[in-house]
Amino acid sequence: MATKLAEADAILIGVGLVGSMLGRELTRAGLKVVGRERGEPRFTVPDFQGPQMHDELRYSIRKALMQDNTKESVTFRNTIEQTALPIRRWESFLPGTGLGGAAVHWNGQTYRFQDSDFRLRTQVLERYGENFVGKDLTIQDWGVTAVDLERYYDRFEYLLGVSGKAGHVKGTKNAGGNPFEDTRSREYPTPPMKEPYGSAMFRKAADSLGYHPFPQPSAKLSQPYTNPEGLTMNTCMFCGYCERYGCEHYAKSSPQTVLLPVLLKDKNFTLRTQCQVLRINFDKTKKHATGVTYVDSAGREFEQPGRLIILGSFALNNVRMLLLSGIGLPYDPKTGKGVVGRNYAYQTMSGVQVFYDQKVNINPFMRSGANGTVIADFVSDNFDHGTHGFIGGAYIGEIMTNGRPIEFHPTPPGTPAWGAEWKKAVVRHYNHTCVLSIHGSSVANRKNYLDLDPTYKDAWGLPLLRTTFDFPENDLKMSAYVTQKALDIGKAMGGQQVAGSPRKGPYTITQYQTTHNTGGTVMGNEPATSVVNRYLQSWDVSNVFVIGASNFPQNASYNPTGTVGALAYWAADTIVKQYLKSPGPLVHV
């Protein structure tokens, strides 16, 4: 029997990046907010300190900061005809857990999506005509524009202190920034990070080919910075332990560095960690949520009533919580009807290696999670797709993050996987190889979706989320085209040998690619094709807001976190200025 607690004004399901941001905005507005986080509390001191944090085995290989598969996993299959099986250990993507969420172990690559990303369907139809989009593709517009989100992107970047060079400020293009970005209201809060050797060689090569290289916008700071919350961060030291690690230097923007010290002091905020939310509860009308039921670390069940519910967990978990709670119609790939779990997308990744002479010391260990130089010439609709037969694109960059040798020991194609020749090649190439990343978009299609697994359960006896995913032909074509451009840049970088190949199917969970899982609680202007309205409010239950990369109707070329942050501030602003004054649906259709 659940113990019933006192009612809160708002409940956060998950206290990661989104939960921390909404917690701060809602307490600031005077609400009493409780944050329910399933993982452990953790802080820069003592949890992220060196030298123990610099342990590749524990954090990269054994994945100490990630969701424990024995408690919650997901099942996976490539196609609807197959039987989905549980991901028994994470590899292709790594869901985080714990206070601060995945924003503790992220790399900090902080981009803005372009206006052409937000109006993708309209853009493609206008520029290329009705027949250009394959009939299985379910791409759609977001219901917001770059203009709508500009001030929220700006606010998020200033919260984080992002280091970068703006390419387009108040309608004026600036040399050295991203010339393809939509106009922004001001420069980045801090200047770009130092440029490592390989990135400098990439810049030169990209320049020589007529492209437009710019420093990757980074939430690893180039200099000390005090954010609008009054919290001060330090300069990134290029230690080479970033993704999959917490930052000991207070140099990585995370809830722990940019928000939590303020939020946790607020008397209107209560944090409860190791609380596993099982479901969102309703009144008899099924149109109004009354709170959540959760289990604490000792197995005791509680009912937490609340007037407003913010579902801000990892994209996949947002979808699962709606399905477990019965909010919204689940998507059915056979009929195309239903919305929850629809438009599950990912990211289409590939890589190119440039092998140098032994005289060239790349020093891959002197790196940071979001350093490096990129080009956006093949992003989104920044180039003419007319003759290519695909939509979307990718950025190309020399953005190496580390030289940790269990995972990073590049060898040229044809080298055996073990033995004397392998060892010689590892020694020969370790410090003399650059890697280029091709970070590509992912279209939504009819066949890729999320639902509840009929067989496999979590540690609380609830169904796991089932993922059905394979790379759409469109994205494999895109990868082939842009990877060839990266190979050409690699050849212009002065190495002895260049190797790389585009992404090929089928999608496999056995190889790390990225944790940018998107969709499933898509935002939009039509309840028939979206789960939440343009303010991220559930169409079905108006006091539930769902916020995260699960809102993306399809995934763009750039990394998603900047857009998740902008959407979180956009939703928070609407809740505070409109919803709280008159609770109820914000959009009527």
Partner 1 sequence: MDKISRRSFFKAAGAAAASTAVEAYGLTPDKNVAPSQNSSAHTTYTFFNAAEVALIAAAVERLIPADENGPGALDAGVPSYIDKQLSGAWGAGERLYRSGPWHSGTPSQGYQLPFTPAELFRNALRGINENLSRAGKAAFAKLSAQDQDAYLKSLQSGNIDLAGVPSKVFFESLLGLTIEGFFSDPVYGGNRDMTAWKMIGFPGAYAAYYHLVDQHGIAYNRPPMSLAEDGRGVIHIHSDIPATPSQGSK
Distance CA 32, CA 8 (A): 6
Residue with tokens 């939440």: 532
**361 lines the binding site for partner 1 (CB under 8 A):** yes
For residue 212, what are its two tokens?
């437009």
Does the protein bind partner 1 through residue 418 (CB under 8 A)? yes
Residues 534 and 303 sit within 8 Å (Cβ to Cβ): no
Binding of residue 462 to partner 1 (CB under 8 A): no
Nearer residue to partner 1 within complex by CB, 402 or 574: 402
Site membership for partner 1, residue 447 (CB under 8 A): no
**Shorter beta-carbon distance to partner 1: residue 189 or 403:** 403
List 95, 101, 240, 502, residue binding partner 1 (CB under 8 A): 240
Q: Is 455 in the site for partner 1 (CB under 8 A)?
A: yes
Closer to partner 1 by Cβ: residue 364 or 565: 364
Binding mask 252-291 for partner 1 (x = CB under 8 A): ----------------------------------------
Strand boundaries in 14-158, DSSP class E: 33-36, 74-77, 85-86
Candidates 366, 374, 489, 498; binder of partner 1 (CB under 8 A) is 366
* CA proximity to 112, closest of 417, 561, 422: 561
Non-local (6+) Cβ contacts of 330 within 8 A are 323, 338, 340, 341, 451, 452
Residues 159-198 that bind partner 1 (CB under 8 A): 194-197
Q: State the catalytic residue, choosing from 105, 212, 439, 516.
A: 516
Residue bearing tokens 């420093």: 215
Among 131, 299, 419, 582, binds partner 1 (CB under 8 A): 419
Minimum CB–partner distance for residue 192 and partner 1 (Å): 12
What x/- string results for residues 55 through 94 when contact with partner 1 is judged by CB under 8 A?
xxx---xxx----xxx--x--xxx---xx-xxxxx-x---
> DSSP string of 515-539?
---B-SS-B-S-TTT-SB-TTSBBS
Would you call 69 exposed, middle or buried from its count of C-beta atoms within 10 A (0-12, 13-18, 19+)? middle
DSSP strand E in 17-68: where?
A: 33-36
* CB of residue 326 to partner 1, shortest distance in Å: 24
The type of residue at 85 is L
Q: Does residue 496 bind partner 1 (CB under 8 A)? A: no
64 close to 40: Cβ distance less than 8 angstroms: no
Find the shortest distance in angstroms from Cβ 206 to partner 1. Answer: 17
Minimum gap (Å) between residue 375 Cβ and partner 1: 20
Which of the stretches 4-12, 157-165, 261-269, 453-461 binds partner 1 when contact is defined by CB under 8 A? 453-461
| 372, 240 Cβ separation under 8 angstroms | no
- Name the β-bridge partners of 162: none
Indicate whether 360 belongs to the interface with partner 1 (CB under 8 A).
yes
Task: Tell me if residue 516 is catalytic.
Answer: yes
Residue of 400, 483, 482, 485 lying closest to 206 (CA atoms): 485
The 502-531 site mask, x for binding partner 1 (CB under 8 A), equals ----xxxxx---------------------
Task: Please identify, among the stretches 39-47, 123-131, 404-412, 575-583, the one whose residues bind partner 1 according to the rule CB under 8 A.
Answer: 404-412
All residues at 6 or more sequence positions from 579 whose CB lies less than 8 Å from its CB, including other chains: 308, 535, 537, 586
Near partner 1 by CB under 8 A: residue from 235, 253, 437, 559: 235
Query: With contacts defined by CB under 8 A, how many residues of the chain interact with partner 1?
Result: 70
DSSP string, 447-486: S-EEEEEEEEE-TTSPEEEEEE----HHHHHHHHHHHHHH
Residue 407 has phi, psi (to 5 degrees) of -95, -30
With contacts defined by CB under 8 A, name the span among 53-61, 109-117, 173-181, 528-536 that binds partner 1. Answer: 53-61
With residues binned 3-state (H G I as helix, E B as strand, rest as coil), the percentages for the chain, rounded to 5, are: 25, 20, 55
Contact between 221 and partner 1 by CB under 8 A: the answer reads no
Q: Which residues are catalytic?
A: 516
Q: For binding to partner 1 (CB under 8 A), which residues are involved?
A: 50-52, 54-57, 61-63, 68-70, 73, 76-78, 82-83, 85-89, 91, 194-197, 200, 235-241, 248-249, 360-361, 363, 365-367, 371, 403-406, 409, 417-420, 422-424, 426-427, 430-431, 455-457, 506-510
